[in-house]
Amino acid sequence: MPGCAKKMFTREIEFESIGGSVEVNQEVEGDVGCVVWDAAIVLAKYLEVREKGKRKLLQGSSVVELGAGTGCVGLAAALLGASHVTLTDLPELLPLLEINRVQNKSNISGVLEVQQLIWGDTQQIQTIKIPDVILLADCIYYKESLEPLVSTVRSLSTTTSTTIMSYEQRTDGNKPELQRRFFELMGENFTKRQIPEEEHHETYRSDDISIFEFKKR
């Protein structure tokens, strides 16, 4: 997967409920991990809504974001109260993640770190402490990475942990089959619940972006 270009622009994402924001640098040119996708925004804002309610997920929790790209969702989790957040992705995307980590660390009270993680790499997976929460945004994209992704989620999960995933429903090419296959593989070890759209942020929601919660059996 190609790395990112050098020219950047910044997007600020505000979280009105806590009076804070994250600043996310993006690459003008580069691969899929170099920009903030809509599904990441929807997930980040859902986390904000959830933390305002009774079913809090992040307060004092350890979090790992898989396929973090720009780190948007993990940064949001850190801002919203997670005690330890690890942003993970391929080695060529780590420089951008580190830029965004440094840019936002002064607004975050917990631990925020960046770590390389190639899905399915057992040795790398073993270097990551099992988290309370796993976050994924729009990671169902390439056929060759599908089974390694599911394997990684399974390896990092326990029966007490929670995985929250958002994805944009796509109808082009093999994307519908990839989405079907992902849920089939996850169904072997996890129960799932689709988060109703009325539980999403009232502004940051879309008919073609879904959020699911998975629990390991």
pLDDT score for 126: 97
pTM here? 0.94
SS (H, E, C) the chain: CCCCCCCEEEEEEEECCCCEEEEEEEECCCCHHHCCCHHHHHHHHHHHHHHHCCCCCCCCCEEEEECCCCCHHHHHHHHCCCCEEEEEECHHHHHHHHHHHHHHHHHCCCEEEEEECCCCCHHHHHCCCCCCEEEEECCCCCHHHHHHHHHHHHHHCCCCCEEEEEEECCCCCCHHHHHHHHHHHHCCCEEEEECCHHHCCCCCCCCCEEEEEEEEC
Query: Quick one: which of 70, 66, 40 has its CA closest to 119?
Result: 66
Where are the domains positioned within the chain? 8-216
Name residues of the chain where pLDDT drops below 70.
Answer: 1-6, 29-33
pLDDT score for 33: 66
pLDDT score for 2: 44
**φ and ψ of 207, to 5 deg:** -60, -30
CB 179 within 8 A of CB 140: yes
User: What is the rounded distance in angstroms from the CA atom of residue 206 to the CA atom of residue 13?
Assistant: 17
CATH 3.40.50.150 assigned to domain 8-216? The reply is yes
pLDDT score for 1: 40
Neighbouring C-beta atoms of residue 85, cutoff 10 Å: 31
